[in-house]
Structure 1
């Protein structure tokens, strides 16, 4: 299975560079570019390929005014722009992947192990987002930039990136409630402000058109996200690992992103009970948190935990490998969506070319 083989090769690459930080840093941009090409130039691969293709064709018949009046105006404006430039639908996948991997790179630059961070994203986030759910992939890329701004204490930048992410995928709007917590000092005042804003904020989000549409589609309707429980469960396990074992050492060694790690851990824990309400909504929120999960897992070797840290780090890769292998081998959904892998890198099929 090509995807399991790729992840095994990536794990082997991480092991080979374990004692060579300079080589690891030099390998990272090569892998980043390779994964971008692999995801961006796929052909008829991904569960949402046909759905987004229909959306693309429909939007081309509408125009920019309709795009800007949509619930996610930035995304639909991007769709319209691709069409206005005379580019075919596959180029929308390229644009989405470019935003996704650009955001991943911005967050990766804050990590000691950029390569490990990127590898840990592959089996869950990379396969499901820029290789399938391209709208949320672009939104997640913007949220990665927002998370990086959060760590730098830049409230305005965090808010702008989050607003852009929300204009691409409305699910990112929940992270606007974190804006009062950006910064270094006055933590009690910031927490109080966040709680004060959370009440009307949650009300507005819950009463908005996007939330009402999501509730009507995904709550008590029988529509489920297959695998949501496993992904949310893995997030919850990561959060438990952080709070029970990693947090004291993290606070002592990496104070600059400690606040975001705590908030991310709390959100990870919250996704598990949310599955009981709607697996689809829980799954969509969970994907936004996978970059923060990868930050936690990639940081384990640098927390000074000795043998226990080495075991936990190895276990992180092993669990993800097992999850990917089970998914790839036993899921008919996976086989339908991702196999065989094909690319249009060397020639765009005529069916996807727009008439001149």
Structure 2
């Protein structure tokens, strides 16, 4: 399976189409980040060479099977979505002062913050150039996606405003920060394979819900995993003071019995290993974690429900399987 993407179990014909499509995406990506300047080519290909799940291109290719299947435009659009995702990772690692990404030294450590930011910008520009070859509607969608992606990142870096429900604020951030690009992947696959407008919208809605479920599952794994299944050291969000759904649900319960755990969560855990370990153990044992799991499963089921107009087809079954594969990691 090209690029590390996990193709859901499906019929052999669909599986072959997806595998072939991923190989074409991988080749397209390598050509587009092979810049004339050797240093820029090296820095631009740094995270691409490290692999990754290629989740977004795979979804784009799967959505295309709801239409006439993969073609050159679908490959280009799937690649542009992955370039946009890669660009966002360069910026994320600068913001998070990360040391590792996909098992290799992060770009900000390898090349410095300024270069990492500029390479991220270059990849965003490369993605836009690819979409420009696909027409004005594709460019408009790319621009709107990028705007929401940036807005989500900005809001993620800010506290919840007074008078706003913290859970709703958090879910809104996820829709923009993660959901929109996954929605666009599904939308492009449907658009460029000749689907009608209703099917394009069906798959866009499905993709946004899938993206939210994807991020919720990753956030759950950060607390529940003991082996770093999510690719991060367990408890990373907790150590950095990031309040994900289990913590928000814990706080919203306002149970006096949780006072000790809440006091731990209010501490600066960045360099306090003992308090961090106690807080992580407390969250793992708390009912809020199971409550967050159930909520995540509910979002996945909402995503599956959006697929009903596709009927009982091979691609619908594969998308159902992909949805459960996303959340089964954490629930």
TM-score range, shorter chain: 0.3 to 0.5
TM-score in terms of structure 2 length? 0.34
Structure showing the higher helix proportion among its residues: 1
**Larger RCO (CA within 8 A; separation ≥ 6):** 1
TM-score in terms of structure 1 length? 0.32
